[in-house]
Amino acid sequence: MNAPGTIAAVILAAGFGTRLAPLTDRTPKPLLVVGHQPVASHLLARLAQVPGLDRVVVVINDRHRDQWNDWQQDVPSHPTVELVSNGVVTNEERHGAVADLARGVERVGDADWIIVLAGDNLLDEPLGPHIAAALHANQPVVLCRDLGDSVPAGRFGEVTIDDDHMITRFREKPAKPGSPLAATCSYVLPAAAAGLLASYLVAGDADSPGRFVGWLASQQPVLARPIVGAYHDIGNHETLAEARSFYDSTC
């Protein structure tokens, strides 16, 4: 296994969660309570388990800055949490998740490896095995969900892999899915791969992390890793209720 070097993390939390209104009128989606604490606190606790990780950058918007400041005051002192605003106040002004990721990666600085988590996605499993796989292969890792035989049409970024679990094709929400693997916005990126964000944003879709994954896989080998624990993508009232039900029963 390669030496881990320095590890940092970026949490993407600048969205406005419009499908969860009115809950998100005043509270950003990652600060909604699930299992007795905000979603972002679950993510931070998961990142705190990663050996050598000492810095987390949370990319937020300006509208919810006060709520994030209040949250930051209550989090543990380790790892260090830095809030970075993208300067946006309304949903119509948003820059897009990939542009926000570039902002977060820039603030991370000289970390050798960067863990990326979406602020509204809960992973009920350790990140260590995924990081170890990235280090062993010295390649970016994208976490994927195996949806089995009943993949809904037009809903997920589809990943196709080879026998070595390297991504060979990515399709954004295909009408006729051909692979059971759906990409999530959960990555382990080496610093060199993170640096490619600027090149991608010259002509790429700044709002679609999935398309960045597809582009990255066209530039270099990218390893797909299945999520083996529970996973909750909190996008609407139904998925929020499902996450709350799961965590209320396990916490």
| Residues 188-206, mean pLDDT to the nearest whole number | 87
* pLDDT score recorded for residue 160: 95
pTM listed for this prediction = 0.94
Domain locations along the chain = 7-250
Q: Is the pLDDT of residue 178 over 80?
A: yes
- The Cα-based distances of 14 to 92, 97, 113, 249 in angstroms read 12, 8, 22, 29
The CATH class given to the 7-250 domain equals alpha beta
Q: Give 92-102 pLDDT, tens digit per residue.
A: 888 899 999 99
